[in-house]
Chains A and B, each alone.
Chain A
Amino acid sequence: MTSPGNSAILQQTAALYRRRRLVDRLMTGVMVVAVIVAVVPLFFILFYLLKEGIPGLSLDLFTQEPNRPGKEGGGVHNALVGSGIMVGLALLIGVPIAVGTGIFLSEYGQNRAGSFIRFFIEVMAGIPSITIGLFVYSLIVANQSGLLPVMGHFTAFAGALALAILLVPIVARITEEMLLLVPRSLREASYALGAPRWRTVLRIVLPTALPGIITGIMLGLSRIAGEAAALLFTALGNQFFSTDINAPMDSIPRRIYVYALGPYDYWHEQAWAMSLILVATILIISLVVRALFGSRVTVRS
């Protein structure tokens, strides 16, 4: 049993095993380092948002209009209202289309037509927002045909339309998924009572999936609330307070962009404060959604 050759082999095997185990531990260590590298930026960003953003928070920020450039003080009331109006209008335009798409995909979409539409939804989700902005610019702002009163100039409507285009794929995908989660037995109970398919969907399936669909809408909302690139050449921006959807309108993300590029310290301070408000809003939505519906869905910008 203990011939010299045999023990040499044993020694070799033991050495080999030690090396294999070392490599295994080394790679586990590398993975842990990667996790730290991946998580650290988040903490840095949140830390600086709080550190730089809190000093800029004031009542004026919420209630005052921007001063002329260079004059300290003032607020971003117009941008807050503008963001609210455009996001609201984008929801009005986008949600019916997105929910309709989701219904079609879940109810009638287990075939070639469904795959076809699903493919375009996926592609739509991947278009860069600046490209969507220029598309809406060409379609509405640069359109001199006068077909619609909102055409031919920069308008809040164009901004809302661009945001709606960003919103649709997000909400449509989540709606489809949520509708597919509704138990078959509920539909069958409705069919058994003689209800046609469309009434079953509207009266049984949609209400059952409603919390999930609302989640999807909130996620979409937090995605478009932070969007600036799609608004640059559609809603443009506005130094003054405006609620006219047929005129240029300001928004929080665009104002952050402008102030970040600008030369004044108080602009930078206000940009940090606006970023803090924006990120806090988005994170609160995300946490609420997660607390209510678990980890199946996530927010993204």
Chain B
Amino acid sequence: MTTRDLSRPRRPSSLQNRLQLGDWTFRTLTGLAGLVAMAVIVGAFYELGSQAWPAIKHGGISVLWDTSWNPGRQEFGVGVFVIGTLITSMFALVAATIIAVLVSLFLVEVAPGYISRPVSYLIELLAAIPSVVYGLWGIFVMGVFVRDHFGPVVVSTFGWIPIFDGTPLITGLFSACVILTVMILPTVMAVSRDVIAAVPRSQREGLMALGATRWEMIRLTVLPYARSGVMGAAILGLARAVGETLAVTLVIGNSVRIPDNIFSPAYTMASVIANQFPEATGLHQSALIEVALILLAITFIINIVARLLVWKVTGGHRAVVQE
């Protein structure tokens, strides 16, 4: 008994209380800071929901596929914007994922460090350029190129296929698709590079020992192993593409019409908000906030799915942190 008393001298209880109080306060304060994130998301659903309520009551659930948007006649079907968002973000998703996976394979499997490091850095720099600068470049450089050079060639070569038979303008679906692809590429690449690098070395060595070529090794072990992680990466990119606003608003042409070819002007959910909100009042404004609410819900769901997929592969949140 005496030894125990010597090795763990009893502190005065008031000091002990004070120490515990300090820790408790600290933990509570930092925990409250952590809860801000939850408060923002819950608050956003509540605020947008209550502002959008008149429009939700007016249009019901059918606005999601109703394509007649006419604020003057109080028609607020968001179908056209859903179509525009689907086309642009699906294009960007597929194109960016294919490029990102090939680039990641090159960086992880082929290139030595002194090449792969600068190349990853250059692609990551794409993520540092603000959305409106992409938009500016999209109108004055890429859009002009599409109208004067790329578009006419496509129309004269593939014009017999209906979706290529259009009038290339500076702004339109195609420009928006390309801009979005470039913008989400760094997101998809950063995550897919991490999941591809996370494929165990032994898996690769096993195939190499059996005499496989590098591509066979990639096709037979790396890709199957990384598949769900790459899907997670793609979906994170999708979340970015769906919510991307100003770059798209500047280059998509902003037209409430179902696009019938790849050069048609169109609208996405995010761009209709940016474009029409300033002059919207009453039910029109409420309907635009409803669009924002739908966007919030979509990105919420997309993020959950993506994170589940990436977690499954990398076994934690670390891989996503650098995204």
A residues touching B (Cβ–Cβ < 8 Å)?
20-21, 23-24, 27-28, 30-35, 37-39, 41-42, 44-45, 48-49, 52, 96-101, 103-105, 107-109, 113, 116-124, 126-132, 134-135, 138-139, 142, 165, 168-169, 172-174, 177, 196-199, 201-202, 222, 225-229, 232-233, 253, 256-257, 260-261, 268, 271-272, 275, 278-279, 282-283, 286, 290, 295-301
Contact = CB atoms under 8 A, between A and B. Distances in A.
A124 B307 CA distance: 13
A35 B296 CA distance: 33
A140 B45 CA distance: 15
Interface of B: 19, 22-23, 25-27, 29-38, 40-41, 43-44, 47-48, 50-51, 98-100, 102-103, 105-106, 110, 117, 119-137, 139-141, 182, 185-187, 189-190, 213-216, 218, 236, 239-240, 242-246, 250, 270, 273-274, 277-278, 288-289, 292, 295-296, 299-300, 302-304, 307, 317, 320-322
A278 B51 CA distance: 34
Contacts, number: 284
Contacts of A257: 132, 135, 246, 250
Given A44-B137, A52-B140, A131-B296, 10 more contacts: A107-B27, A118-B317, A123-B41, A127-B296, A128-B299, A227-B130, A275-B133, A275-B136, A298-B124, A301-B128
Contact of B292 (A30, A130, A165, A177): A130
A158 to B, nearest CB: 13
A224 to B, nearest CB: 10
9 contacts: A38-B185, A117-B37, A123-B37, A135-B40, A139-B47, A198-B26, A198-B27, A271-B136, A300-B186
Contacts of B239: 126
A228 B246 contact: yes
Given A35-B106, A123-B303, A27 B215 contact: yes
A108 B30 contact: yes
Q: Of residues A138, A197, A233, which shows the largest number of chain B Cβ atoms within 10 Å of its Cβ?
A: A138
A279 B130 contact: yes
B108 to A, nearest CB: 10
B213 A232 contact: no
A101 B40 CA distance: 14
Q: Closest 4 A-B residue pairs measured CB to CB?
A: A128-B243, A226-B130, A100-B33, A34-B102
The prevalent SS among residues of A at the interface is helix
A117 B34 contact: yes
Contact of B128 (A31, A268, A299): A299
Contacts of B320: 122
A257 B250 CA distance: 8
Contacts of B307: 119, 122
Nearest to A94: B36
B30 A49 contact: no
B122 to A, nearest CB: 5
A104 B99 contact: no
Nearest to B135: A260
Contact of A34 (B99, B236, B240, B277): B99
A49 to B, nearest CB: 7
Contacts of A99: 33
Given A34-B106, A257-B135, A268 B140 contact: yes
A201 B136 contact: no
B141 A130 contact: no
A233 B277 contact: yes
Given A35-B106, A127-B44, A128-B299, A222 B128 contact: yes
Nearest to A257: B132
Given A101-B37, A128-B244, A31 B106 contact: yes
